[in-house]
Amino acid sequence: MDPHSSSFPLLTILFPVLIFLSAFFSGSETAFFSLSKSTLALLKNDERSSSKRILKLLEKPQIFLITILIYNNLVNIIIAAQATLITQELSVANNWNIYISMIVNVGVVTFIILFFGEIFPKIVALKDSLWFARKVSIILTIFTYLMYPVALLFKQFTGLFSASVKDKLNQAGFTEEEIKTLLDISEEAGTIENNEKEMISSIMDFGETTVKEIMVPRIDMSAIRSDAPIQELFQLVNESLHSRIPVYKDGIDNVIGIIYVRDLIKHVFEDGSVKDTSLEKLAHKAYFVPEQKKIQDLLKEFQAEKIHMAIVVDEYGGTSGIVTLEDIIEEIVGEIQDEYDLEQPLLNKINDYNYIIDGKLPIEELNENLNLNIPEEEGVETISGFIYNKTGNLPEKNDVIEHDNLTFKIKDIENRRIARIELIINKSSE
């Protein structure tokens, strides 16, 4: 036979068709068996016929995979046979020696099968497994039905095959993003409450949260000088209602200890007067932690050391703030209000376009509550930090800062910190 024979055109037409079929089955295998658990869970609530077909095919994963493998191997065997015939005809027509024929038959044909029939379709299928699976589901349903008796027979001879296929199907567990997506869907469907969703999300983020993210910054710390009279300490405790007060010497960057309020009882006389004593002597040893320590590690240290407060230090050894056991617990369960806490909302609505907000309000929370798009830059987490970054300095009371369709008016400054801000959403710029 030669290229001019009647069978040669048929062979050359059939060859790319077979390569396409090989690619079809290879891509289908990858697409279906790379679908994650969360994707399959979402398909159960999807009424589209393609979703139902996908789930139906994966009800019996062993049968389905055997079917794909049978078809794919049959196609590849036929491709190899066709390639041999085509090579023989070309070899005769062009007077190739045996070595050239082998190079063409083994090298070139193997590359074509491997790349176009295996590698390329698998890469395409992996990019969007669900899309690929939807497109091929109806054809695979027909092929699976036709090959079912043969696939069932093969299954009986492969007793160990079942476990390996189940492992392959289930190997793609839930990723963090998939779980968060499921939480959003569950909240929208009313399956879980918002506070339950937030608690689960907090637990997921717990391992990556650092002390710096939850600490009380130094500007908001209630602390006292070591040389202050004890009467001043009582006054500070009465005003702050805190049970532990850091003590510093020569400056807040030199914390020398922590005073426990319970220790003050012995210094009060029966007539209500206070026995003067050195605050430095009253102070317990302070526990210091770096800003970047993970709070899950700090929680273990708190438990081991039986302490409730730590002083947070920056990379230069200066005091960044304080972190307490309550701060860590609140990161999971949310704000805890005790009998002394005066609940002060960080966001107060005046009307649909005017709000009074606390400078400590996280940008993410403000964006979420008011459907805004204030940028969250690295190292800037609160609305006061955003304003500092915007102005480059500490603004004064009644200063106005503009951003897109938003106007921020400074209402109060406390201890060189932006305490309250009026937010105006300009209707004309919406």
- 399-411 pLDDT tens trace: 899 988 899 999 8
Residue 258: the pLDDT is: 94
Residue 272: the pLDDT is: 52
Contact indicator for 122, 143 with CB cutoff of 8 Å: no
198-199-203-205 Cα dihedral, nearest 10 degrees: 20
Cβ atoms within 10 Å of 422's Cβ, excluding its own: 17
CA-to-CA dists, residue 183 to 197, 202, 232, angstroms: 6, 12, 50
Q: How many alpha carbons fall within 13 Å on the CB side of residue 17? A: 8
β-strand partners of 290: 313
Contact indicator for 60, 169 with CB cutoff of 8 Å: no
The yes-or-no verdict on residue 169 having pLDDT over 60 is: no
Could you read off the pLDDT of 61-85 as tens digits, one per residue? Answer: 888 888 898 888 888 888 877 777 7
Residue 189: the pLDDT is: 66
For 48, residues 6+ apart whose C-beta sits below 8 A from its C-beta are 134
- Which of 92-101, 107-116, 375-384 comes out lowest in average pLDDT? 92-101
Residue 161: the pLDDT is: 47
- Which of 214-218, 268-272, 326-330 comes out lowest in average pLDDT? 268-272
List, as one string, the DSSP characters of 60-99.
Answer: SHHHHHHHHHHHHHHHHHHHHHHHHHHHHHHHHHHT--HH
Which stretches of 123-276 are assigned E, i.e. beta strand? 216-217, 224-225, 244-248, 255-260
Sign of CA dihedral 288, 291, 292, 296: positive
Closest CA to 146 of 55, 74, 233, 243: 74
Confidence of residue 319 (pLDDT cuts 50, 70, 90): very high
Long-range Cβ contacts of 119-123 (<8 Å, 24+ apart): 120/23, 121/23, 121/24, 121/26, 121/27, 121/30, 122/26, 122/27, 122/30
Closest CA to 187 of 200, 205, 169, 202: 200
- Report the first-to-last Cα separation within the chain, whole angstroms: 76
More confidently predicted of 141 and 191: 141
The yes-or-no verdict on residue 343 having pLDDT over 60 is: no
Contact indicator for 133, 140 with CB cutoff of 8 Å: no
Residue 246: the pLDDT is: 94
CA-to-CA dists, residue 393 to 76, 386, 390, angstroms: 71, 11, 8
What is the third-level CATH fold of 347-429? 3.30.465
More confidently predicted of 310 and 89: 310
- Which of 68-72, 136-140, 266-270, 284-288 comes out lowest in average pLDDT? 266-270
Tell me 247's DSSP state.
E
Tell me the average pLDDT across 111-128. 86
Residue 96: the pLDDT is: 66
Closest CA to 63 of 172, 163, 150: 150
CA-to-CA dists, residue 429 to 303, 407, 424, 425, angstroms: 53, 11, 12, 9
Residue 136: the pLDDT is: 92
List, as one string, the DSSP characters of 197-237.
Answer: HHHHHHHHHHTT-BHHHHSEEGGG---EETTS-HHHHHHHH
Residue 418: the pLDDT is: 85
Residue at token pair 């990556």: 208
d(CA 259, CA 308): 12
Task: Provide the edge-to-edge strand list for the sheet that holds 244-248.
Answer: 224-225, 244-248, 255-260
Instruction: Read off the tokens for 265.
Output: 């009882």
- Which of 13-27, 88-102, 147-161 comes out lowest in average pLDDT? 88-102
Residue at token pair 């209602």: 241
d(CA 166, CA 6): 48
On the 0-12 / 13-18 / 19+ scale of CB atoms within 10 A, 387 is: buried
More confidently predicted of 346 and 229: 229
Cβ atoms within 10 Å of 6's Cβ, excluding its own: 7
The yes-or-no verdict on residue 164 having pLDDT over 90 is: no
Domain ranges across the chain: 7-161, 176-206, 211-333, 347-429
Cβ atoms within 10 Å of 328's Cβ, excluding its own: 19
Phi-psi region of 378 (alpha: psi -120 to 50; beta: other; left: phi over 0): beta
Could you read off the pLDDT of 86-100 as tens digits, one per residue? Answer: 777 666 666 666 666
Confidence of residue 229 (pLDDT cuts 50, 70, 90): confident
Confidence of residue 176 (pLDDT cuts 50, 70, 90): low
% of the chain exceeding 70 in pLDDT: 77
In CATH, which superfamily holds the domain spanning 211-333?
CBS-domain (3.10.580.10)
Contact indicator for 328, 299 with CB cutoff of 8 Å: yes
Residue 430: the pLDDT is: 42
Tell me 243's DSSP state.
S
| Residue 208 CA from chain centroid, whole number | 10
More confidently predicted of 139 and 342: 139
pTM, full prediction: 0.48
